[in-house]
Structure 1
Amino acid sequence: MQLGGKVQQEWPTVCTAATVAVVIGLLWQCAAAVLVHEEKPVPAIFALGDSLLDAGNNNGLRTLAKANHPPYGLDFPTHTPTGRFVNGYMILDYLALKLGLPLIPIHSDPSTKGAKLLYGVNFASAASGIQAYTGHELGKVYSLDVQIQQFAEVKKEIIATIGANATSRLISKALFYIVTGTNDWLLYLGTPVGKLYTKPQYRDLLITKFNSQIKELYNMGAQRVVVVGLGAFGCCPGQLRAFKAINGTCVASVNKLAKDFNAPWRSQFLALADTLPGAQFAFQDACTALLHVRNNPSAYGYSIVDHACCGIGKYQGFPFCFQGFPVCDNVESHLFWDAYHPTSRFQEQFLDLVWNNGPPYSYPYSSKEFLMGLKD
């Protein structure tokens, strides 16, 4: 019957090419929609924040706040530095794997395009904070405001890939995971910023600003948001060194600051969800989790909780871990990798604590209950 040959004779070549292009386009959109993995409770993660989530976004910036050199990445699967401020995986990696997702690509990677965006994007920038100026004392960083702008641009790219309706559904079902605030307080403690505000004034300033940033994300379609509160950074080797701690004792005044900030931040953030239709928010208390592990080191496999694995100076608490600095023989025995960042081991343990437990680690209930019970 040679139907194919007849069609070729009657249709001009340009028409055939155009038809094929349309079909390919439709097939691509269908394939992209499948990649959204809508059967998963969480099809994608959009991460925003600081060095606890940065996986390389600062690598190309003129800043001291980057980890794209050895010994970072010592225990990463490739055994090479990626920009993560840790010896191996960070909490975002463990979370993605637990949710059945690939490692979340960074925004600054030129290959983070097209279908790759459908699993989410990591916008985090080391040294950044809630305030626009936080971290600039170290060089250029992407503030939380800038990261939100970057998400807006990525949203346009996703629309171009799968269409507006599928994009809206993807973003509404995606998890927005945010770790920020510590650098704002380090700036307050270590610079003249602390003379401009009382601690309650600065606390209220940060919380008000943060809530407006959350509303901005919500207005772009974000509904599921998890915020990680300040850690017990008075226990970081960098703070032990700065405050000349005795016998590795945590700096009580700094930990009190973290606790005093986390409590109102948590209550106001969770209350905000009640004012935003469809919003589902959760808060993870990193301060309580770190103190719990530090106070029970043997139960979690640690023998050294005050000294960093990589660093120089008292408590190996010099702010940076540069190539050539001494590295401990057994990373697994250390709670901290460098002056301010816990080891991969703790980051996995932190995820386990908030995954399996509600308050005082995860609010309003465990992360497992929250993430597995998300409703449309």
Structure 2
Amino acid sequence: MDHWGRLVTFIVFILFAIPVLKTAAENGHIPALFSFGDSILDTGNNNNLATLSKCNYPPYGRDFYGGIATGRFCNGRNPSDLIAEALGINATLPAYLDSNLRTEDLPTGVSFASGGSGIDSLTSQLQGVLSLSTQLGLFKDYIGRLRAIVGQQRASYIISNSLYLISAGNNDIAFTYYATLGQLQPFSSYANTLVEGASSFVKSLYELGARRVFVLSTLPLGCLPGGRTVAGGPLRICAPIVNQQAQFFNGKLSSAVNSIRSDLPNFDIRFIDVYTPLLNLIQNPLSEGFMDVGEACCGSGLFGESEACTLLSVCSDASSYVFWDFAHPTEKAYKFVVSSVLRSSNVTTSSVVYN
């Protein structure tokens, strides 16, 4: 090959190899994903718990791989899975308490989230699920197992370079406050207590080595099918008071996250607003191909939280529904929210784009 031929080959290599190398480096930058909190991120940790807050039975999982009810509170995948896929890690994120969890799954992350959980320990007690402190204990156990598998150095790299998701506060506000505390203290006081609890939790993650944390806002709780039925009046509108309380809590939580970020060195902690994109979808469903925002595909939500999602109460096609059951979006709606979150957070992702 002559000089010019070698030069052209070199230029072609540079033009094509650099993007490939850049992509490989970026994908390796976030080696694992971990999720904590409630049913928004739970991928099956409640399956073997003595609780009614579980969904490892049909029709849950109807649109999941193989049509299997894995314990996800959805017809398919939830944000834990979708974000893991978008980061180029895995198509799904296994639950840490899944009896089928494989040793080789551990280095790329797991979910510790528990449906029905909250920041307030009372929330978890009332529903018989994993509290945040219990989830933190499981994470410590995970770190020990990870070190045994990959060694101290690699384990430290994974822990410090991975992404951590936290979704908590939904059940505290929608369930615990109204069921037990509404007559005892003003909501502002309870919200402050929740924010203090959330702050303590993320600081504990920091002490264990986490350096990249996404703290998710609550959903627009007054617009959930169950919320509309309970507090939305005869027309089942989005319950304004409940949404205002969710917004108040979210504002306090956002401020606390910003404060923590400024106080702790090298801590990329971010408040992630999922309230707004989901509310926008609820208010403008047709633009994204949704037809029904007030009722759920399964159980409809017309009778509140007591209405069960069963094979006898499920719609034939979830793709036109924003909500799967009385409190949880469908996989399609989650894809819309996750896509919005990833764009706004500017976190490095693979080429996966949700439409």
TM-score (norm 2): 0.87
Q: How far apart, in 1, do the equivalents of 2:137 and 2:307 lie?
A: 29
Equivalent of residue 168 in structure 2, options 158, 161, 180: 180
The residue number in structure 2 matching 1:285 is 273
User: Which deviates more, 281-290 or 120-129?
Assistant: 281-290
Deviation by residue 1:20-79 (Cα, 9 ceiling, x = unmatched): xxxxxxxxxxxxxxxxx9961211011101011111110111111001011101111211
Q: Percent identity at matched positions?
A: 34
Q: How far apart, in 2, do the equivalents of 1:149 and 1:201 lie?
A: 28
The residue number in structure 2 matching 1:325 is 312
Judge conservation of contact 1:308–1:317 (CA < 8 Å) in 2. Answer: no
Residue 216 of structure 1 pairs with residue 204 of structure 2: yes
Structure 1 residues without counterparts, runs of 5 or longer: 1-36, 358-365
The residue number in structure 2 matching 1:202 is 190
- Aligned-partner residue type, residue 305 of structure 1: V
Distance 1:353 1:211, change over 3 A: same
Aligned length: 326
Shift of the alpha carbon at 1:278? 1.1
Residue 109 of structure 1 pairs with residue 88 of structure 2: no
Query: What does residue range 218-257 of structure 1 map to in structure 2 within 5 Å?
Result: 218-257=206-245
Shift of the alpha carbon at 1:371? 10
- Aligned-partner residue type, residue 295 of structure 1: Q
User: Which deviates more, 233-242 or 105-114?
Assistant: 105-114
Shift of the alpha carbon at 1:111? 4.2
Structure number with bigger Rg: 1
Aligned residues: CA RMSD: 2.0
Q: How far apart, in 2, do the equivalents of 1:119 and 1:204 lie?
A: 34
- Aligned-partner residue type, residue 119 of structure 1: T
The residue number in structure 2 matching 1:368 is 347
Distance 1:146 1:56, change over 3 A: same
Judge conservation of contact 1:47–1:178 (CA < 8 Å) in 2. Answer: yes
Q: How far apart, in 1, do the equivalents of 2:86 and 2:337 lie?
A: 13
Distance 1:212 1:169, change over 3 A: same
Query: What secondary structure sits across from 1:191 in the alignment?
Result: helix
Structure 2 residues without counterparts, runs of 5 or longer: 1-24
Judge conservation of contact 1:311–1:318 (CA < 8 Å) in 2. Answer: no
The residue number in structure 2 matching 1:361 is none
Distance 1:240 1:207, change over 3 A: same
Residue 350 of structure 1 pairs with residue 337 of structure 2: yes
- Aligned-partner residue type, residue 341 of structure 2: V
Judge conservation of contact 1:355–1:368 (CA < 8 Å) in 2. Answer: yes
The residue number in structure 1 matching 2:20 is none
The residue number in structure 2 matching 1:334 is 321
